Amino acid sequence: MDIPQKLLAVLYALAAFAVVVGLILVVATWTERRRPRAVAWWFLAPTFALLAVGLVWPALRTIWLSFFGPDGSGFVGLRNYGTIFTSSEDLVVLRNTVLWTLVTPFVATAIGLVYAVLVDGARGESFSKALIFLPMAISLVGASIIWKFMYDFKSLDAGTKAHPPQQIGLLNQIIVWLGGHPYDFLLNSPLNTFFLIAVMIWIQAGFAMTILSASIKAIPVDVVEAARLDGVSRVQMFRFVTLPTIRPAVVVVLTTIAIACLKVFDVVRTMTGGNFGTDVIANEFFTQSFSAANYGLGAALAVLLFVLVIPIVVYNVRQMRASEAR
């Protein structure tokens, strides 16, 4: 793109901005003469237009493209979807995605909940919470690089018995210190998938702790005092008072982490590239669409990912509405 075209694009953007601002001003002058609902629709119209262009149209285009062949031409019907559920490689992708979605939310939420209960009201509570929340400040790519070094493996065959190779990975170095043999954490399937999941748990546990800790502190004091006067133990307090009260927050945390796991890409792409049986739907979609140029299969994977997210979002919305109605 040459300079005149860039300037023309800038002018188009400025003109569009001016049109939007002008519409807002026109609507604002009509506020006193129009019904509030009509005014609201005028203000919402640009949002709906942007959603249609940036979200609805690409979604429909992706669904349409999923019915075509690798080069985007040649109608193949549901063949791409059939490939996903019959190909041995894609079945591994589906298995890994299910493992991510089932294991990570429950383990991360459990860790965050237990930690929030244990440090609630304890001395140094803020510092203790900051320690587990710190991984949330690291990007997924940064966290993946950190853990890739943690899992780093050097074979003993690379050195001699008198001078074994120096282990860069902290975990393998600890294993060697204890007299064991180094283990390639990222090579052996399916255990390597669980080692990748551990990275997401490390990050999401801080998120779960923060939300659940805030919910625990929001429990009415009179409810807690009444339970203590009844002589309940700490376990009974957690089971019959704390957990039922913070249930809506637990649901939100579980569903939020589950959606993040369905879309997980950064961890897998950075640590293994989807090799060694660790691939997931989001990474396979990227590989098929941008590396293999199989646009039809890539679009089918994107549609499948969208379909899998919908039930979780619907369940989350229903639970939030139910909690608000109480």
The pair of structure tokens assigned to 18 is 């001016």
Single-letter amino acid, residue 11: L
Q: Where are the alpha helices (DSSP H) in 166-273?
A: 170-177, 191-217, 221-229, 234-237, 243-245, 247-262, 266-271
Mean pLDDT lowest for which of 112-116, 125-129, 207-211?
Answer: 125-129
224-266: pLDDT as tens digits: 888 888 888 888 888 888 888 888 889 989 999 999 999 899 9
Write the pLDDT tens digit of every residue in 154-174.
877 665 555 667 788 889 888
Angstrom CA distances, 49 to 45, 46, 54, 306, stand at: 6, 5, 9, 21
Residue 321 CA, chain-centre distance (Å), reads 23
Q: Which residue has the tokens 């939420």?
A: 109
pLDDT in tens, 21-44: 776 676 666 655 556 666 677 777
CA distance 147 to 169: 9
Q: Higher-confidence residue: 31 or 297?
A: 297
pLDDT tens figures, 303-320 = 999 898 888 888 888 877
- Going by pLDDT thresholds of 50, 70 and 90, the confidence category of residue 53 is confident
Could you give the CA distance from residue 105 to residue 43 in angstroms, rounded to a whole number? Answer: 38
Please say if the pLDDT value at position 72 is more than 70: no
For the entire predicted model, the pTM comes to 0.81
How far does Cα 156 stand from its chain's mean position?
37
Say which DSSP state 166 is in.
P
CATH class of this structure's domain 87-151+186-325: mainly alpha
| Gap between the Cα atoms of 129 and 231, Å rounded | 29
d(CA 315, CA 311): 6
Statement: residue 201 has pLDDT above 90:
yes
Domains of the chain, residue spans: 3-65, 87-151+186-325
Closest CA to 92 of 273, 276, 260: 276
Higher-pLDDT residue of 316 and 282 is 282
> Residue 68 phi/psi, 5° resolution?
-120, 170
Contact present, 83 and 294 (Cβ < 8 Å): no
Mean pLDDT of the chain: 85
E strand or H helix at 325, and its extent? helix 295-325
The two tokens of residue 86 are: 């019959």
